[in-house]
Amino acid sequence: MFYILTWLYVTITVIIATYKIRENMGIKIPRDPTVEKLKLKSKAEKTQKSYDGDWLKFITYSKKRFNANPLEVDSIEDAYNLTEGYLNWLHTNQEAIELKGKSEKNNADAPSSNANKKSYKSSTIKRILASITYKYRINNFNFDRKNPQISETMAAISRNRDIKSGQKKELLKEDIIKIVNPLFNSDDITDTRDKALILIGFYSFCRRSEILAIKYEDLIFSDDGSIQVKINFSKTDQTGVGRVIDLPKKDDKYCPVKSLTEWLDVVLIKQGPLFYKINKTKSIESHKLNEKKGFLPRSLTAGGFVKILKQRATNVGIDSVNIGAHSLRIGAITQARMDNVPTHEIMKQSGHATTQMIDRYTKITDIKKNSAARKI
């Protein structure tokens, strides 16, 4: 018994001594620098660029107002105070407009052409807050945007907006038919491209970024004449799980499959992006990548997509002020709701995880459809 007690005493003494030695040595485990690089890949490239731009403007504000860097504040409370003041400034101060659309390259102190525009929408300020939160957190700040100081400021901003965030006008099936009708029986390569782009944009239910990211390799040609498309990444799928959407073969001339096939036959696409820029000589624009790979076709940009849709709508007498590429997605979802397509089928095609946005898109249509005032 004596030996057992002695052994226990010695063992415990050694453990305590080891702990104290380690404590006195102040052993620290260094952070793995490669983890920070990995974290930067947790967001899509487009999202990361947006976050970087928002953060740069926040730094500019902080240095101008307080001669301080947001990451060099003394405490998390100072970070909250700084952020709260910035959000309110974006909401109320006309000077905030001068930071709109600026980057590190074009100098945040330069005069802006946006001076006469309205202040930031509440939805934009929410996105900016998401950017700030992300940057603080990856820099080891325990920043919580649900903190009352921040959440109450955002709630006040949302309530105090004179004009709510503007939703794009939906383009319903009758609008799509009207827009693409002039593009049939044309030998113009631009007409062929635009017809395919608009019909695919509508029947795919996809976001603009998803449509422009589709490559020939993502197409699945089925025996029944339809085409399935693999959507590899999306706004709500940053990890690349992906989904497959259906482009149906329809019996009328507005068939998205037929229009896409005609476009592929004209430009002989067998790999890479589906849609390209077309220059004034009616040929596909190209750019030199490098000496080894030579010239590559120049893909259609997001701005080019919007410009095409606006111009085609204007050509047939449709007011294009509130029309954007998102009008195709909203229109398809609204049309499906009007045609009593089950919500779960709409969500599968559109990639929505919840019904919230679908309900928002179709709210006005539903109000009109179920209006008691229209039934008396």
What band does 105 get if pLDDT is binned at 50, 70 and 90? very low
Cβ-count burial 150-160 (b if 16+ within 10 Å, e if not): beebbeebeee
| pLDDT of 288 above 80 | no
**Structure tokens, 77:** 């409370």
More confident residue, 10 or 86: 86
Specify the higher pLDDT residue, 253 or 289. Answer: 253
pTM here is 0.60
Of residues 207 and 291, more confidently modeled: 207
Give the pLDDT confidence score for residue 104 in this predicted structure. Answer: 38
Q: Are 55 and 132 in contact (CB under 8 A)?
A: yes
Mean pLDDT on 106-135: 68
The token duo for 335 is 């049309």
pLDDT band for 268, please (50, 70, 90 cuts): confident
pLDDT score for 103: 39
Mean pLDDT, rounded, for 247-271? 90
pLDDT above 90: residue 260: yes
More confident residue, 286 or 366: 286
Q: Decide: helix, strand or coil at residue 40.
A: coil
Domain boundaries, the chain: 45-159, 173-365
Give bridge partners of residue 230 from the DSSP assignment.
244
pLDDT, average across residues 165-194: 88
Instruction: Report residue 135's pLDDT band, with 50, 70 and 90 as the boundaries.
Output: very high
Q: Which CATH superfamily is domain 173-365 in?
A: Intergrase catalytic core (1.10.443.10)
Residue 298 binned pLDDT confidence (cut-offs 50, 70, 90): confident
Q: Look at 40 and 135; give whichever has higher pLDDT.
A: 135
**Phi-psi map region of 90: left, alpha, beta (phi>0 left; psi -120 to 50 alpha):** alpha
Over range 67-93, report the average pLDDT: 87
287 vs 294: CA distance, rounded Å: 8
CB neighbour list of residue 253: distance below 8 Å, 6 or more residues apart: 184
Contacts of residue 252, Cβ cutoff 8 Å, sequence gap at least 6: none
Share of the chain above pLDDT 90, in %: 23
Q: How many helices (H) and strands (E) does the chain have?
A: 15, 5
Q: How many CA atoms lie within 13 A of 130 on its CB side?
A: 11
297's enclosing H/E stretch is strand 294-297
Between 6 and 27, the higher pLDDT residue: 6
Provide the pLDDT for residue 261.
93
Split at pLDDT 50, 70, 90, the class of 326 is confident
DSSP classification of residue 95 = G
Residue 7 predicted with pLDDT over 70: no
Given a cut of 50, is residue 196 above it in pLDDT? yes
Confidence check: pLDDT of 163 > 50: no
Please report the pLDDT score of residue 199 as a whole number. Answer: 95
Rounded to the nearest angstrom, the gap between the alpha carbon of residue 3 and the centroid of all alpha carbons in its chain is 71
- The pLDDT of 347-370, averaged and rounded, is 70
Whole-number average pLDDT of the chain: 79
Q: What is the model's pLDDT at position 369?
A: 61
Structure tokens at 349: 């095609």
Q: What is the pLDDT of residues 37-64, one digit of tens each?
A: 566 566 677 788 888 989 999 998 888 8
Query: In terms of pLDDT, which residue wins out, 361 or 150?
Result: 150
Q: For residue range 206-241, what is the model confidence (pLDDT) as tens digits?
A: 888 889 989 999 999 988 888 999 988 766 555 556
